[in-house]
Amino acid sequence: MKLVILDRDGVINRDSANFIKSPNEWLALPGSLEAIALLNQSGYRVTVVTNQSGISRGLFDMATLNSIHEKMNRELAVLGGRIDAIFYCPHAADEHCRCRKPDVAMLEDIAKRFAVELQGVPAVGDALRDLQAFAAVGCQPILVLSGKGEATLAASKVNADQALPANTWVCADLAAAVQRIIDTPYSG
C-alpha cells in the first residue's frame, strides 16, 4: 500500500496563531485539496496527523473539531479526493502525552491501523516537531514552506538545535511536495 502522511494546519489549510476554532476559520491553502486528490488518483492512501491543543485549552470542543474535519472532507470530495484517516492529539504541550508531535504515538497508530511499516513513507509538515516525529519513525520528512515552513527553514539555518532531520525534502507547498512524491519511486 502506498501511503502519505500530512500535517493539517499550515500544510492543507491556513494556519493561525489563534488556532483554527471553527469550520468558518478553516480555509484550504491554494492547491492543497487538488494535491490530495492527485495523491488519491495516483494510488496513495492519505492520513492526517495533527496537534489540536485548542481542545485541551478549551478553545473548541470535539464536536467543533469534527465539524472542521467534515468541512475539509466535503471540500475534498468535490474534487474527487479523500482522507483515509485523521489522527489528532487533543493535549497541550504541558500535559506530556505520547501523542503530541514530536512524540510518535499518532504515527505508531497509523502503522497499526494500516498494517504498514513507516520506513520511507512520505510525511509532510511545516514545523520542526512534525519533521522530528516523522524522522523518528523512519518516514521521509518533507518540509513545506507554507504555514510555519519558511520560519522553520530559516531557524534551521541559524540554530543547530533547530536543524532539519537528515534528508528532509524542502518544497514550496503541498502541491510541489505531492509532485515530488509522485515523481519519486515509492520506497514505503
7 catalytic? Reply is: yes
- CA 103 to CA 166: how far, in whole Å? 18
**How is residue 88 written as a grid cell?**
489528532
9 catalytic? Reply is: yes
- CA 12 to CA 27: how far, in whole Å? 9
Identify the active-site residue in 9, 15, 130, 173. 9
Helices 174-183 and 32-41, packing angle to 10 deg: 20
Euclidean distance between the first and the last CA atom of the chain, given in angstroms as a whole number:
8
**H-type alpha helices, 79-115:** 105-114
Which of the residues are catalytic? 7, 9
